[in-house]
């Protein structure tokens, strides 16, 4: 598997922006290529700072399409798989929570850096039948934010950006989740006032 990962990484570096798109797609769908898309964004932005927006956009769009593929798999047959592995009561509680807070249940994990689990949330969103539009919006915001921050770190720190992310990933992730949580609470409050 490591030889395959090295080959994908080398191919992506050769292809440039389309390579980032391909790796982000594969990593967000059926394959697991931990940190490869992140490393590619940082490396390519460091190498070609003027293409910052292109690389961040390609990583975000590739990840969105990969997540949509996994989301579709969850919609087609994910519930039967879950019911075979977990008790019916647990499945119902999980799906109810996803239907209630589905966007946040996808948005928060989409920001978190590797090795945070993410694909299970994408599959569960499909099983819970969250609307495609809401799901895609959550992925675009979450992954877009993540790759944008990585690109900025590459601009500021160059090749040391990945080391910086590893050292401070917990703090950055906590700050991002706190900001999103606060925004979600404000959104809920405004929604309730509007409904009243």
SS3 (DSSP) at 160: helix
Could you give the number of structural domains in the chain? Answer: 1
For the chain, the C-alpha Rg in angstroms (whole number) is 18
Give pLDDT, residue 63: 95
- Alpha-carbon gap, residue 147 to 140, rounded angstroms: 10
The terminus-to-terminus CA distance of the chain in angstroms comes to: 56
Give pLDDT, residue 53: 95
Give, in order, the Cα–Cα distances in Å from 5 to each of 8, 37, 56, 162: 5, 11, 21, 18
Residue spans of alpha helices (H) in the chain: 2-15, 17-28, 36-47, 52-73, 79-85, 88-111, 119-127, 132-157, 161-195
Give pLDDT, residue 57: 96
- Alpha-carbon gap, residue 172 to 167, rounded angstroms: 10
Give pLDDT, residue 59: 95
- Alpha-carbon gap, residue 63 to 11, rounded angstroms: 17
Running DSSP on this structure, what letter comes out for residue 75? Answer: I
3-state SS string for 19-52: HHHHHHHHHHCCCCCCCHHHHHHHHHHHHCHHHH
Running DSSP on this structure, what letter comes out for residue 113? Answer: P
pLDDT string in tens for the chain (196-residue length):
577 777 777 777 788 889 999 999 998 887 877 778 888 898 899 889 999 999 999 999 999 999 999 999 888 877 676 666 666 776 677 777 777 776 777 877 787 766 667 887 888 888 888 889 989 999 999 899 889 988 988 888 877 766 766 676 667 666 666 766 676 667 667 667 776 6
Give pLDDT, residue 22: 92
Domain that holds residue 190: 2-195
């Amino acid at each position: 598997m490591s030889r395959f990962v090295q080959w994908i990484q080398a191919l992506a570096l050769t292809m440039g922006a389309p390579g980032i798109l391909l790796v982000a797609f594969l990593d967000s769908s059926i394959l697991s290529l931990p940190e490869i898309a992140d490393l590619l964004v940082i490396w390519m932005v460091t190498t070609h700072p003027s293409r910052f927006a292109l690389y961040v956009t390609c990583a975000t769009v590739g990840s969105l399409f990969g997540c949509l593929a996994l989301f579709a798999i969850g919609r087609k047959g994910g519930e039967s798989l879950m019911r075979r592995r977990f008790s019916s009561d647990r499945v119902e509680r999980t799906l109810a929570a996803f239907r209630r807070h589905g966007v946040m249940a996808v948005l928060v994990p989409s920001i978190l850096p590797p090795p945070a689990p993410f694909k299970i949330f994408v599959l569960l969103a499909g099983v819970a039948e969250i609307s495609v539009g809401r799901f895609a919006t959550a992925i675009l915001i979450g992954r877009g934010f993540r790759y944008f921050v990585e690109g900025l770190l590459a601009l500021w720190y160059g090749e040391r950006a990945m080391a910086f992310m590893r050292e401070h990933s917990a703090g950055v992730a906590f700050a991002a989740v706190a900001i999103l949580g606060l925004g979600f609470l404000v959104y809920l409050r405004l929604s309730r006032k509007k409904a009243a």
